[in-house]
Amino acid sequence: MDYFLFSVAAIIAVVSAVLVIVQRNPMHSALYLIITLLCIAVLYLQLSAQFVAAVQVIVYAGAIMVLFLFVLMLLDQENPIDTPSTLRYQNPVAAVMGLLLLVELLFLSARAQPPAVLTSGAPGSSPGFPGSVESVAESMFTRYLFPFELTSVLLLIGMVGVIVLAKRKL
């Protein structure tokens, strides 16, 4: 049953991810991207990572997608600029990087053990199982305290960057 659900969600995610890049209309791409993001949330749930699944929906499907849609609105969709890309070297570099990532993934998935949650079946609703909000909080505010605080600096830099860019021209 778990395997079946995983396969369905994974296949839908991959298919709609492919559809995202083959669509001519950017809005249709956006629509398929939402499906991909929601399917990934389902995969997180299967790993019993409830918190991460909720965050996936809130931040990616709810916030980043809105940002994407706003960016699409910002562009002049009727008269797309049809000049050749100024970053000509981008394509080969992207291909090499993508290939590297694929090799890395294959290598890791050949070696890695499946997480304990998957093999031992879905955990009960007892608080504190790996993936619950409690356990995420536990490690975030003790073991990973410094990275957590650094995140706020990262977010601050993002915010300042936006303001500087928006204030300059446009």
- Per CB under 8 A, residues contacting other proteins are 25, 27-28, 30-31, 34, 42, 45, 50-51, 54-55, 57-59, 61-67, 69-71, 73-78, 122, 125, 127, 132-134, 136-138, 140-141, 145, 148-149, 151-153, 155-156, 158-160, 162-163, 166-167, 170
- Comparison of 105 and 145: residue with beta carbon closer to other proteins: 145
List phi, psi (to 5°) of 83.
-90, 150
- Comparison of 109 and 120: residue with beta carbon closer to other proteins: 120
Least Å distance, CB 102 to other proteins, is: 29
SS3 label, residue 111: helix
Distance between the two ends of the chain, CA-based, in angstroms?
53
- Comparison of 107 and 148: residue with beta carbon closer to other proteins: 148
Q: Which two tokens stand for residue 157?
A: 């830099």
Distance of CA 28 to the CA centre of its chain: 18
Q: Are 34 and 16 in contact (CB under 8 A)?
A: no
